């Protein structure tokens, strides 16, 4: 998922205390993630950042999101991102923006008040906590050590009970990696320990539910890559969790040698990367993961490259000289400005890849729009997948794409 961890998948190449364990009738038809299963209606989830918002979309002097900014009628689940594992004890979790740090100039002191207000406004909405994100350390040691794992699970359960949350998402990137340095500690035992961790969390959530009368959800984020199902026990993990969240985006980025679609449904035969969402889903289905346990990810942001020549193909799959904007990416609400007639950009549609792109003769942008969503949601229904999720809510602050996504996938 992103930011520091913004790279949640940015490098996929394919692809946040302490303690013991507007009304819409159609919306109510969508089940919460924690209760959906085979044959249930599709889940619609979205991650949401806990770090400060861009200055251009803040409400007054408040640098963080508020409950009034969230269109909960389109969601079954909102996922607070991210909690991290404390390096000091290897088991406690914390959210960086809830404490003073060099990165945050203020503290998100009213996060839980906003969560409470959101749940009061949208009683059907499940609010979960995600632990991890790209570059998040501590999983391997915690899952390896029985005492640390027990303390970690008790800590997570304490958060769920104290803040009236509905579930946890484990975003361990990744237990056993693809062979290149992911920047976190890994060990061969992580394949087995990953499954044991998920199984022990599920058991603890069931015990907590027997106490509170709730059924708590458990999900895990996974990359849109064949190496994960080969190196990790994806089928066993899928049997435990309510859903595997397939991060089907970032197939291309500033690390690539050319421009390219970062979330295309199908494969253009001329695509040098050879990546598509159809392929990514098949990696998991062919490995034996049940379709209803796969939750397809949508990136509501774009990837951009500069210094791109037309070469008769409007810059598609062409070399570039640099990446514009911040980290070569921009939110959909920024892309909407570029879709206006006077922006200098032209929208193109790659029929082979079933993906749009923008080009102004120099800057090339891959993104997801309504037409792409239609094809992707048709694919979700065709394959019988368990639902969809978004990275992340603030990128589409007006919920323009989210509305289309929720209505199409139902």
Domain boundary assignment for the chain: 3-300+367-409
Q: Is 341 exposed, middle or buried (0-12, 13-18, 19+ CB in 10 A)?
A: exposed
Question: What is the pLDDT at residue 104?
Answer: 67
Question: What is the pLDDT at residue 100?
Answer: 78
Q: Which residues of 155-193 are buried (b: 16+ CB within 10 A; e: fewer)?
A: bbbbbbbeeebbbbbbbbbbbbbbeeeeebebeeebebb
H or E stretch at 191: helix 190-212
Topology at the third CATH level for domain 3-300+367-409 = TIM Barrel (3.20.20)
pLDDT tens per residue, range 291-313: 999 999 999 999 999 999 999 99
The upper half-sphere exposure of residue 258, i.e. CA atoms within 13 Å in the direction of its Cβ, equals 17
Q: Which residues pair with 299 in a beta bridge?
A: 391
Residue that has been written with the tokens 């290149």 in this structure? 180
pLDDT tens per residue, range 138-162: 999 999 999 999 999 999 999 999 9
Whether 161 is a known active-site residue: answer no
Give every CB contact of residue 14 below 8 A, 6+ residues apart in sequence. Answer: 223, 224, 225, 226, 250, 251, 275, 280
Residue that has been written with the tokens 């949601």 in this structure? 377
Question: What is the pLDDT at residue 31?
Answer: 39
| Global model pTM greater than 0.95 | no
Distance between CA 264 and CA 242 in Å, rounded?
A: 26
Could you say which residues of the chain have pLDDT below 50?
2-39
Give the residue from 334, 235, 340 showing the smallest Cα distance to 284. 235
CA distance from start to end of the chain: 25
Question: What is the pLDDT at residue 326?
Answer: 87
Going from the C-alpha of 314 to that of each of 146, 290, 353, 407, the distances in angstroms are: 55, 39, 15, 32
Distance between CA 11 and CA 252 in Å, rounded?
A: 9
> Annotated catalytic residue: which of 33, 38, 114, 173?
173
Distance between CA 229 and CA 159 in Å, rounded?
A: 31
């Amino acid at each position: 998922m992103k930011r520091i961890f913004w790279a949640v998948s940015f490098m996929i190449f394919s692809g946040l205390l302490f303690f013991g364990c507007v009304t819409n009738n159609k919306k109510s038809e969508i089940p919460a993630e924690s209760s959906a299963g085979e044959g249930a209606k599709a889940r619609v989830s979205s991650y949401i950042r806990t770090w400060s918002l861009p200055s251009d979309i803040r409400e007054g002097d408040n640098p963080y999101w508020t409950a009034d900014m969230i269109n909960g009628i389109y969601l079954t689940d909102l996922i607070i991102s991210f909690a991290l594992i404390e390096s000091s004890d290897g088991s406690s979790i914390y959210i960086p923006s809830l404490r003073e740090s060099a990165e945050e100039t203020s503290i998100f002191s009213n996060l839980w008040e906003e969560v409470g207000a959101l749940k009061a406004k949208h009683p059907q909405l499940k609010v979960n906590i995600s632990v991890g994100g790209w570059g998040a350390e501590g999983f391997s040691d915690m899952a390896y050590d029985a005492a640390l794992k027990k303390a970690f699970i008790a800590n997570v359960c304490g958060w769920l009970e104290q803040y009236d949350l509905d579930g946890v998402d484990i975003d361990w990137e990744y237990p056993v990696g693809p062979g290149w340095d992911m920047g976190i500690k890994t060990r061969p035992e992580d394949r087995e320990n990953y499954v044991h961790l998920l199984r022990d969390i599920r058991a603890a959530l069931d015990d907590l539910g027997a106490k509170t009368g709730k059924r708590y959800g458990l999900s895990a984020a996974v990359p849109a890559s064949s190496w994960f199902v080969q190196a990790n026990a994806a089928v066993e993990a899928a049997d435990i969790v309510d859903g595997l969240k397939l991060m089907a985006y970032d197939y291309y980025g500033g690390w690539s040698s050319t421009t390219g679609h970062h979330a295309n449904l199908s494969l253009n035969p001329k695509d040098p990367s050879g990546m598509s969402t159809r392929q990514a889903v098949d990696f998991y289905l062919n490995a034996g993961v049940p379709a209803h346990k796969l939750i397809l990810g949508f990136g509501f942001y774009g990837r951009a490259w500069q210094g791109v020549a037309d070469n008769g193909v409007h810059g598609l799959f062409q070399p570039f000289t640099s990446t514009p904007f911040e980290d070569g990416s921009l939110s959909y609400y920024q892309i909407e400005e570029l879709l206006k007639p006077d922006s200098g950009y032209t929208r193109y549609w790659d029929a082979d890849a079933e993906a749009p792109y923008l080009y102004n003769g120099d800057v090339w942008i891959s993104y997801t729009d309504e037409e792409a969503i239609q094809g992707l949601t048709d694919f979700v229904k065709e394959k019988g997948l368990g639902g969809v999720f978004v990275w992340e809510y603030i990128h589409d602050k007006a919920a323009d794409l989210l509305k289309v996504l929720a209505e199409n996938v139902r």
